[in-house]
A and B are shown apart, each in its own frame.
Chain A
Amino acid sequence: MRFALIAATALVALPLAVAAPAAASGSNASVTVVHGVPGLTVDVYANGEELLADFEPGTVTDPVSLPAGSYDLAVFAAGEGPDGTPAIEANDVTVPAGANVSVVAHLTASGDPVLTPFVNDVTRVAAGQARLTVRHTAAAPAVDIRAGGAVAFPALTNPNEAKTDLATGTVEADVVLAGTSTVAIGPADLALAEGTNTIVYAYGSAEDDTLALAVQTISGLHSTPAGVPSGNAGLVDDQLPLTVGLLAVGGLMVAAVAGVRLRRTARQN
């Protein structure tokens, strides 16, 4: 059976436990589910309850706020759960408080379906910048990710990721077999919006010719400009003008002289 049951518990729990963020906020976690197994519409169950129905390959959920804790995840072909045999299963998945996690249903390099959680980098990016994360979740050998024809992320293997912060804009990206110019996926235009982490999944199977890209975007990671430098000639200077200052000083000097004369006059009497 192609969608053999995979005992993915160890694989799933380990990276989460290691990557629990230092700055955990609240007791919930933000979880996004990504479907990267071609040809199979599924229902996703968590702790025996249906979380997602009719989840299509190549689609991504909006982030879901889930209580931190331990989850038994099971993915069934649509309509076959929860009592049948799951296509993919992962038990005791630890979701730490405050984490931002993507749980990806995908194929291993050798073509077996698994669930892999990735912890997303939601630290702020500098003003004007965007973050690009690439993840190899395809049944394919090592690949290079190219941007504008130049290798940006070399020799990426399943199930690993690479990332960088770069100037906001559109990047023409493609995926080639590592060290070659044999294009496996793309090219595709990636619109990298400011203050976001754009996460690109290479998924599918090289053997079945189903390789494709899925994009998840996390927004709200922007920083603000440091200031607004808006004038350098001094024409609206709010300082006390010279004429006003002279008038005030002159007036006070006249008053002082008058006071001295007044005392002298009084003394003469």
Chain B
Amino acid sequence: MTARRRAIMWSTLGVVGVAVAMLSVVAWSLARPDTSAGVGLATLREQATASSSASTSVPSSPAAPSSAADPTLSTSTIVTRAGDPEAVAEAARPAAPPVSITVDSVGVDAQVDPVGVESDGSMTIPASPSRVGWYQFGPAPADGAGNTVIAGHVDTAAEGPGALFRLREVNIGDQITVVDAEGVSHLFEVAGKETVVKAALPVEEIFARDGRPLLVLITCGGEFQPELRSYSDNLVVTALPVA
């Protein structure tokens, strides 16, 4: 073999080696579902704030004098309510809780349990990954404002993949149906998908009880940390109600 042919052979092999290294990583990252897409939760909530503040007039609150002597009263209609316990309980009756959720595009079909909080302050997640939990202290789909929060294990060591296992494959525009205890179907459309480091999860925004009505689905994602038996990130999917 001449030196020249040998040189060509080695350079070809070098190029092929680099190409294999790069292609394998690129192909892997392309094959994965996007971990974020669409419009994020924060933006969705801001959009609503901007549009609502534009359409509603700012209430005129009289500037209080600092001396605070005999301030003028704006005696608009003041609502009075019966104070007896039965009437108060009836007025505060909560909206029907969600009982099931389906996302046909990624094969999600799960029963929904009302859940609260653990002693460490984190949201309770149903132990079985085949069920998902609805944060019962926050809004329900029938409420006119705030976020309906539904979360489930992506998987558990005991039972394997969960109902939300393929949630990360969801695409913007996919439809989600939530049925409540009164049999009413609430249709939503995926608007955003975000992967958030758990420590930085914007809980105030996720569990907001005011603002435009949204559906927020949460499961786990990111790198698995075996020593903690936990994932590094939360996958947060945000959906808007379809009128």
Interface residues of A, Cβ cutoff 8 Å to B: 27-28, 33-34, 46-47, 49-52, 55-56, 58-62, 64-71, 94, 97, 126-128, 168, 170, 188-191, 193-195, 200-201, 212-217, 220, 222, 224-241, 244, 247-259, 261-262, 265-266, 268-269
**Given A226-B121, A244-B28, A238 and B223 touching (CB < 8 A)?**
yes
Q: Are B165 and A235 in contact (CB under 8 A)?
A: yes
Q: Are A49 and B73 in contact (CB under 8 A)?
A: yes
The 7 closest A-B CB pairs, nearest first, are A255-B17, A251-B21, A214-B83, A231-B220, A234-B224, A254-B17, A251-B20
Determine the main DSSP class of A at the interface with B: mixed
Interface residues of B, Cβ cutoff 8 Å to A: 3, 6-7, 10-22, 24-25, 28, 32, 35, 61-66, 68-73, 75, 78-86, 88-89, 92, 94, 116-117, 120-123, 125, 129, 135, 137, 151-157, 160-162, 164-165, 168, 198, 201, 203-204, 206-207, 209, 218-224, 226, 229-231, 233-234
Q: Are A239 and B80 in contact (CB under 8 A)?
A: no
Task: Identify the closest chain A residue to B225 (Cβ).
Answer: A234
Q: Are B64 and A69 in contact (CB under 8 A)?
A: yes
Q: Are A70 and B122 in contact (CB under 8 A)?
A: no
Task: Identify the closest chain A residue to B236 (Cβ).
Answer: A228
B161 cross-chain contacts in A, Cβ below 8 A: 235
Task: Identify the closest chain B residue to A248 (Cβ).
Answer: B21
Q: Are B3 and A225 in contact (CB under 8 A)?
A: no
Q: A190-B89, A258-B14 provided; 19 other pairs, C-beta below 8 A?
A: A58-B82, A60-B80, A60-B83, A66-B71, A70-B71, A188-B86, A191-B89, A194-B137, A201-B83, A220-B209, A228-B198, A231-B153, A234-B224, A236-B165, A236-B168, A238-B222, A240-B28, A254-B17, A258-B12
CA distance A15 to B142 in the complex (A): 42
